[in-house]
Amino acid sequence: MRLILLNKPFHVLPQFTSPDDRRCLREFVPLRGFYPAGRLDYDSEGLMVLTDFGPWQARISQPGSGMPKTYLAQVEGEVADPALAALRAGVTLNDGPTLPAIAEAAPEPDWIWPRDPPIRFRKSIPTSWLALTIREGRNRQVRRMTAAVGLPTLRLVRVGIGPWRIEGLAPGAWREVPRAEAEAVLAADRVRSPGRAPRSASRARGPARN
């Protein structure tokens, strides 16, 4: 029963095999018998949880698990109150309305690593940062939510899953969570909420994809 936290780099498949020779998790995690607990899209970065224990994988990745996931999104345009209000109320996507999110404008993080390759800027359109915490895991949900309120996502970094944060993990690095901590967090009815989204941050089974 082991659980690890990985900072998945940009353009890495969220799985241990690659059918088309793209980079995948085995390049960074030289362990056997581990599986991702939820997904993180190829073009997104940040925190993934991996485990060799099926019940923990299910606890994290199943719909309705109650495990909140926190993201920092660099978006095109200025984050304003109407967009934040819409995200907090829940927005309607083509597969139905989302649950209310915790959404805040965020300063540009001074700790974040440069992306390779960098995002494409348009001189006439400013970019800004948004912190968003959701409890669902629909396909590309965060990107679709920001687009629905007029803020297309340019870069998406997952910085938190439940109480676990990405602080101290460089892209491609991982650390193991002590077993006692993992058991306490993943015990039934004891998944902890992060409260407010941070202003700066600290083949897979399951539906969590962003």
Residue 20: what pLDDT? 94
- Residue 184: both structure tokens together: 């306490």
- Give percent of the chain with pLDDT exceeding 70: 88
CATH topology of domain 3-186: Alpha-Beta Plaits (3.30.70)
Active site residues: 41
pLDDT tens digit sequence for 105-141: 999 999 999 998 888 877 778 999 999 999 988 889 9
SS3 letters across 47-82: EEEEECCHHHHHHHHCCCCCCCEEEEEEEECCCCHH
Helices assigned H by DSSP within the chain? 54-61, 81-89, 141-148, 179-186
- Domain boundary assignment for the chain: 3-186
Q: What is the pTM of this model?
A: 0.87
